[in-house]
Amino acid sequence: MMANDIKTTLTDRMAGFESFSIALDESTDLSDTAQLAIFIRGVDKEFTVTEELLALQPLKGTTTGEDIFIEVQKVFTSSGLPWSKLIGVCTDGAPSMVALCKGFIGILNEKATELNVQK
């Protein structure tokens, strides 16, 4: 019940976000499964800041920039987060995150117009 209450509270707060940023971190757990942690930090009209772990997504198989982008897109869709309110992304320096062509950031920049993201 507590987990559902926390999820409901976060969902309600996210609905009121004027803008938000995300932080991504990918690491491998003890069972050798890559896990993508997605943290969100958003601000509403009253300048109330909310910072929470949004999702922990397992990455099966490969951990390319495209794989990471697909998982983030799934989380945004299931959470009702509009790409147009995304104002910042923080990652580590891993090539799968920051490579200009095939990293998450490169793919996000490439698809920015399609996703209605302002650069």
Region 74-80: mean pLDDT is 93
Q: Is the pTM of this model over 0.85?
A: yes
Does residue 119 carry a pLDDT above 60? no
Owning domain of residue 102? 2-115
Low-confidence winner among 57-61, 76-80, 96-100 (lowest mean pLDDT): 96-100
Looking at the structure of the chain, the number of domains it has is 1
3/101: higher pLDDT: 101
Q: What is the pLDDT of residue 72?
A: 96
Q: Which residues pair with 49 in a beta bridge?
A: 43
Does residue 107 carry a pLDDT above 50? yes
C-alpha torsion sign, points 36, 24, 107, 97: negative
Region 78-95: mean pLDDT is 91
